Every structure is written in structure tokens, then in C-alpha cells.
Amino acid sequence: MAEADMDDLIEVIEKEGNLDNIPKTLPMMPVRDIVVFTDMLLPLFVGRDKSIKAMEECVGYDRYIFLTAQKDAEVENPGTEDVYEIGTVGRVQKMIKLPDGRIKALVQGIVKAKAVAWLKKRGYFKVEVSFLEEQDPEELDIELEALMRNVKENSEKLLSLKGELSGDIGDLLSHIDSPGKLADLVAANLNLRTEDAQALLELNDTPERLKKVNDLLARELALTTVQAKIQTDVKDEISKNQRDYYLREQVKAIHRELGESDEKLAEIKEFKAKIKRCKLPKEGEEEAVKQLRRLEQMHSDSSEASVVRTYLDTIVELPWSKSSKDVLDITRAQTVLDKNHLGLEKVKERILEYLSVRKLNPKKKGQIICFVGPPGVGKTSLGQAIAKAMKRKFQRLSLGGIRDEAEIRGHRRTYIGSMPGRILQGLRQCGTNNPVFMLDEIDKLGNDFRGDPSSALLEALDPEQNTAFSDHYLNIPFDLSNVMFILTANIADTIPSALLDRMEVIRIPGYTHQEKIEIAKTHLLPRKLRDNGLIRRSITIHPNALATIVTEHTLEAGLRELERKLDTICRKIARKIAEGQKGKFTITRQNLTRYLGPPQYMPELDQEESQVGLASGLAWTEVGGEILYIEISLFPGKGELLVTGQIGEVMQESARAALTWTKANQELLGIDKDAFDNQDIHIHVPAGAIPKDGPSAGIAMVTALVSAFTGRRVNNLVAMTGEVSLRGRVLPIGGLKEKALGALRAGIKQVIIPEKNKKDLYDIPKNVKSKLKFTCVRDVNQVLDIALEPCVEASAKEADIPETDPDGTA
């Protein structure tokens, strides 16, 4: 550059910076989204009419114009209240008129100024300004110099992070000695909000302004650092994925050149072969092929691929067309059932009928069978025996405590860790589509906010619907019609009625004493000897000892407690043998207490002899039948009735009905007229901790009441069951077989039952009927004639007369 040109440039710069050359009256132009600082050079696109007019007018003011920020950038036509008073006087360095009427201008900030008066508002703004000069301190103290150095270093770091740092900018920053100019330069290049930038512009204290700029610079540096780190991480991840992709493609190409297939291709090929072998229904095959195509397009290590792979594994492992061949030899089936279970003739007969129909008509839909009976009677083992007789696979599922519907129908695939329901999981484990599937404890299903599992079972256990059972996870219909479902329950009352309607209920009441002894001898004892490592020859249990164990050490309808007692005996003998004792061990009734201790169950002391006001009723429980004693006591009072023993409302109503009938027939019964008015009646049912309810103790209560008021004893060998009406009719009851077995266990000889229950005697085993005398009655008078012994009052009085000598003295 020539020396003359340099002198002209210096003269222009000095002229622009000389405040005396700047007019005090200037056109004003509001600017949006930016605050203009001194020495700041920026391009402006001017489009509003007032702004264009102001830009054109500035030519007459030596190209000087007052620029101030607009408070709200959304206001299209700002007024005096919409702009800040403090702004910057700038000079237009270059101006170009665009074809669309807008103006493109290059403006440089000259000096900070304040609008003190508005001279023109129409057409364009014209203001009178006063300049706000700043004086840098003559000498920089250590603190201000350190602040300047910190601002310069942070500015270089920020520009370096943004990739905008160059040698010219570094030289420019290093040669600035004025704190005010440094603050303006840095503030002009920071991405500040309009409010923050205006606050900096209005700050006149130079050190304070530089300190504020330093704070804003530090914040911007921190944000830019985090942003750069995020961009670097994303770039690295993308680069790694691209690298992995290229490497995999190279491996595939190498395998193809060698004539080999990679793992993914081998997996896809294997799935295709398995789907073809499964012989899926059309809908299932379409879904499987669709999911296989999805897997083929996915990355092998992605989480979605893992979900699809698990789903396909489930589909190909289910036995869609794989079934075991039934062996329907009825004679052999009967042999298997008799070998594994003693008694239970009705149950065996129903099973053999099912197998016979299956043999004659293989396409007949299977009936759902439900075994209902007390614990320990062999319900689960019966299912195993059926599977063994038919040579089918056996699968068992315990439903006790299940509250989630998804346990039956499965979880939807949208959930993490979703899986099919327990029914399909069972079929997957056994590997055939026609196993004997036992659903244990159906009466103990629950429900809560997760759904009702019993409702989900309705479809699976309905032969008309289960040909297309829908599982939420699988979402493909599965045919369950070939599965033989067998359900077990202790009581049928808690089974939902809709579910109970789909099942054929077969009741298993329990075993008699003789059956228990026979089962213990042929099944339980050999198994316990084997479990405890004993030789059959080393131990002998006499029949009378077995009978004592059954009668005095157990009191149950099933066999579990009996099995535990035999296990106890075998353990004690095993210990003796382990300690070195030799010889043959013999268990008799006399030495049984050494192994099991004293008898745990003895006949009730109250029933050692016939008593007044004590009658024996019969009760049905979940674990079988048992004796229910009714005690009545009379004491002076006002004829009030007190009932105790934790009995329910129905049983309390039976007590009141029994008392009403007794009062109504007191003359026929020979009861004193004032007996009910002068005495209170207390009816108590022992075992008060056990809840009791039901109407079947009605005739027992009448018998005990009449006995208490007439003084006639109730025969202790007679038990009774039946509901009583107000007219003395004996109404039918349920659970007769269980009650009869309970009476036999308690040593009862005669049982009084309602005449309408005579038909139920057909189901009672012959050996029970041979030991119990069943008497059918229609009304209560018949019950009283049988249960009450003749009045002994006269004989008692004769017994109380003392013998006298001939002289008449005692």
C-alpha cells in the first residue's frame, strides 16, 4: 500500500472516531434480536418502511445513524416505548439497494449514545442524542490486568472449541490494551440474549463491565465444552457402528468366497427348517415367516432381535403336530389303576368309561374331569395313573395362589421379560400336544388388579372353544382339544360357577379304616422302607399295630398323616441299625408307644357313656367327615337362649328352629309347661376355636333339647344328621358319604339320616354299610324314638331308697 493511501485511511478512522464530527441529531433505526456495540461491524438487511426511510436519510447526516435494540422482536411497528433509550451511533460503510426494495447495509458501531429527545416519529424516527463516553483507567491495576488476561485466554479457548480460532484473531486479542474495547469486542461476538447484551451496553463502569463479560464468557465456554463432548461421543459412536458394519460385511464376503455361511445366515436357515418341520397352521406359519424376515433385517446384537429370536424359539418348540400314540387297552388300564389305588371304585369306573369311549370314537372331544376331595386321598396320583394307563406324557400345574391372568394367558410381547402362559409352557416342556394335564388346587385361585385367572381358564377348559386357544404372547391360535385336562380341588364351593359348569365333578370322600390298613401294608410301608434304606426282612409290623396307628394316631380322610407315622417308625429303626443294633425289629400294639408316643386321638370322654343333653351330630369338613357334639345345659332364668362355640348364622337359626319345635310340642314330649319360662338354655358346640356352620345339626339339637328337658339320655352309639323344619320334618343334607366315614372312625354304630338321602346310600362302600346301621327318618319323633333311651327316673328313685332292717331303722 502506498504511503498516501495509508494517510487517507488514518484520516478517515480519526474522523469517524472524533465525536465533534458526529451530528447530535440523527435518524434512528430499531434493530431486532441484536445489540450493536462500539467497533462492531455487522451486515444489516433493512425491510421495514420506517427503517428503509431512516437508512436513506442517514446519507444527509454523513451516513451516521442511531441504532437501538427493540425490546420485543415480535412488534412489527415499534413506538418510542418499544425500544431502549441507550444504543450505539453507527456509520454506514456500504449500502446496496436490492431489487425487492430492501436495503443491505454494512454498519460499524462508533460510539455509545442515549436518545434524549424524539424530534420526528412519522415516516421515520429522528432523535437527539447525547454521547456516553467511557474513559479507560490511566493505569491498569493487577486485578484488572489479570481479568483482561483471563478474558483473552477464555476467548481463545472458546474460538478454538468452535473451530474459529486463527492467527489474525489471536494477534488482535493480544494487541488490545483497552479494557472497554476488549469488553465490547468479546460481548459483540458472544451469543448473548438481547436483555443480557443491553445490560452490558448500559453498564458505564468499565471494570465492572469487563467482569460481567468474563462471567458470561465462562458460562458460554462451559456450555460449548459440553456440546463439543456430546458431538464427539455421537461421532465416535457413529464411526464405531459404521466400522462394525463394514467389518461384518467383509466377513460375510470372505465366508461367501470360501463357500461358508456366517452365524446369522446359519441361524436364519435353521429357523426356516424348524418352521417347516413344525407343520404350523396357515396363520401361524405366516406370522413365523413374517417375524423371521424381520430378524433377517435386524442387527444380530440388538435388543429387538433378541425379542424376535425368543419368540421364534417359542413357536418352533411348541408341539403343533407332535402327539403321543394312545394305548387304549381297557383291561391293562384297569390293572394299572388297581395296582396304584385301592378302593375309589366309582372314580376308576368313570376313567375306564372315558378310555372306552376314546377307543371307539377317537375324534370325540375330551371331557374335563375334576376330582374333589380332602387332602391326601390320591387325587394327583390318580392323574399320574391315568397318564400311565394311556401311555401319555403327564404335566402338572399348581394353581394355588395364582392371581395374575398373565400366568394363564401369557404376557404381551411389548413387556420386557414377557413369556407365554403356564399352559403353553407345560406343553412346550412335555413335547406333545395330547398329554394328561393336571391343574392342581383349582379352588385356591385368586384375583386382584392384575386380572382373574379363573376367567382366563374358561376358554382353555371348554371343549367347544379350546380348539383355538389364544395366548397373549404367542398371538396365534393353539389347539388344546387333544389335551386331557384333569383338575383337583378340596372343596367345590369356591370354584367359580362358570368354570364349574364346564367340568364333570367326581367326589373322592376318603378311605375307611380297613382300606387305610390295606394301603399302608401294600403301598406305604414298602415305600418308606425303601426311602429309609431298610430291608423288608428287617422289620415286621403286626396288623393290630397298623390298626392302632390308624385309629389312635391319625384322624383324617386321607393318608398323609399315616404316611408320616410310618416314616417316623422307619427312621427310629434306621437309627438303631446305624448305631450297631442287629436283629429283626417287630412292631406290636404293646411296643408302639416307644416309636410314636402315647395315642393322640382318643374317643371323647363325654361319650364314654350315654348322657343327658349331649347328642352326636355329623359334620362335613374339607378334610373329611367328623363327629360334632351338641351340649345343652339348663339353669334358672327367664327362658333366654344362649348359643356358643363359634357357629355361623345358619347354625344359630337351626338352634332357634329346634327350640321353637320343642316348645310347640312340649305337651306331647311330657315337658312341664313352666320349664321354658323358668330356665335359661345354653347350647354349646365344643371345639370353639373352629368355625362351624350349616343346617345339618338340626335334629341333633332337637334331640339334645328334648333330652335335657325330659331327663332321658341320648344313646352314645347313635349319630344323626339332618335339617329340621318348624313342623318337625327332617330335611335332606349333603356330604353323607364323608359323614358316614367320620362316624365309622369315631366308633358310632347307628346313623340316623333323612329319608330323602336314602339314594346316597348307593355310593357308600359295602364294608362301611356292613359296620354301620343306617336308619332313614321323616320327622323328629322318629329320631327321638331311636336316639333317646327309656326314662330312668323311676329306677333311679328306687335305687335311692335305703335298705331298712326289720325294725324299720336304717
Active site amino acids: 696, 739
Q: Which residues contact 288 (CB under 8 A, 6 or more apart)?
A: 275, 280, 312, 315, 316
The span from the CA of 745 to the CA of 626, in Å, is 8
Question: 275 with 311: CB under 8 angstroms?
Answer: no
Question: 641 with 654: CB under 8 angstroms?
Answer: no
The span from the CA of 692 to the CA of 32, in Å, is 89
Is 375 one of the annotated binding-site residues? yes
The span from the CA of 465 to the CA of 459, in Å, is 6
Residue tagged 429303626 (cell numbers): 573
Is 373 one of the annotated binding-site residues? yes
Q: Tell me the angle at which helices 345-360 and 330-340 cross, rounded to the nearest 10 degrees.
A: 160
Among residues 344, 381, 736, which one has the least CA distance to residue 516?
Answer: 344
Is 27 one of the annotated binding-site residues? no
Give me 15's grid cell.
Answer: 474522523
Bridge-partner residues for 28, per DSSP? 66, 125
The span from the CA of 113 to the CA of 450, in Å, is 73
Phi, psi (degrees; rounded to nearest 5) at 31: -120, 150
Phi, psi (degrees; rounded to nearest 5) at 754: -65, 150
Give the CA distances from residue 397 to residues 258, 379, 383, 441, in Å, rounded to whole numbers and listed in that order.
Answer: 51, 13, 12, 9
Residue tagged 486463527 (cell numbers): 166
Give the CA distances from residue 625 to residues 256, 407, 508, in Å, rounded to whole numbers and listed in that order.
Answer: 77, 35, 12
Residue type for position 33: D
Q: Cα 178 vs. chain centroid, distance in angstroms? A: 72
Q: Which residues contact 212 (CB under 8 A, 6 or more apart)?
A: 199, 200, 203
Is 378 one of the annotated binding-site residues? yes
Among residues 495, 478, 474, 510, which one has the least CA distance to residue 368?
Answer: 495
DSSP string, 458-518: HHHT-TTTGGGB--TTT-S-B--TT-EEEEEES-STTS-HHHHTTSEEEE-----HHHHHH
- What single DSSP character describes residue 779? B
Degrees (nearest 5) of the Cα angle 643, 648, 652? Answer: 40
Among residues 687, 695, 720, which one has the least CA distance to residue 706?
Answer: 720
Phi, psi (degrees; rounded to nearest 5) at 67: -110, 125
Bridge-partner residues for 129, per DSSP? 115
Considering Cα of 207, then 213, then 216, then 217, what sign does the dihedral take? negative
Q: Tell me the angle at which helices 303-317 and 263-278 cross, rounded to the nearest 10 degrees.
A: 30
Is 379 one of the annotated binding-site residues? yes
Neighbouring CB atoms inside 10 A of 577's CB total 17
Is 314 one of the annotated binding-site residues? no
**Across 121-205, where does the E strand assignment appear?**
125-131
Question: 747 with 671: CB under 8 angstroms?
Answer: no
Question: 24 with 75: CB under 8 angstroms?
Answer: no
Among residues 482, 496, 518, 509, which one has the least CA distance to residue 444?
Answer: 496
Phi, psi (degrees; rounded to nearest 5) at 374: -65, 165
Give me 249's grid cell.
Answer: 460385511
Question: 334 with 344: CB under 8 angstroms?
Answer: no
Residue 339, classed as helix, strand or coil, is: helix
Bridge-partner residues for 587, per DSSP? 541
Cα distance between the two ends of the chain = 167
Binding site, annotated residues: 373-380
- Extract the annotated binding site for ATP: 373-380
